[in-house]
Amino acid sequence: MHHITTWEDVVRRRLLGETPDVPSEVDWPPLRDKSKEGWAKALENLKAGHAKLRKVAAQVEDVELDTSPTGKTSTRYVLLHGAVQHDLYHAGQISILKKA
């Protein structure tokens, strides 16, 4: 969950033209709070991060989709689709683990 939240924030920041570092401890943050409250906070953070990403994504104009906001190789189109695919990939993993 924290990993998904991290990458939604990275994509949001990249759409804004930033080039954030994503070291492994940021990419896969350690799970420090395993309580019900910790889980609720993680869900709250995910929802808040998702809302922030949606707000930035909604400001992307169609003519901007094929351009890179950071001057790197990924276009806005690739960043947005990548975020959706990443979330779906991990949602599938979570679904499989819940069935196990």
Spans of all domains in the chain: 2-99
> Could you report the per-residue pLDDT of 11-68, keeping only the tens digit for each?
999 999 999 999 999 999 989 999 999 999 999 999 999 999 999 999 999 999 999 9
Q: Taking Cα atoms as reference points, which of 93, 83, 98, 72 lies closest to residue 7?
A: 83
Is it the case that residue 10 has pLDDT exceeding 90?
yes
Cβ-based neighbours of 67, under 8 Å, separated by 6 or more: 75, 76
DSSP characters over 14-69: HHTT------HHHHS------SHHHHHHHHHHHHHHHHHHHHHHHT--GGGTTS-S
Residue 5: both structure tokens together: 């939240």
Across 70-94, average pLDDT: 95
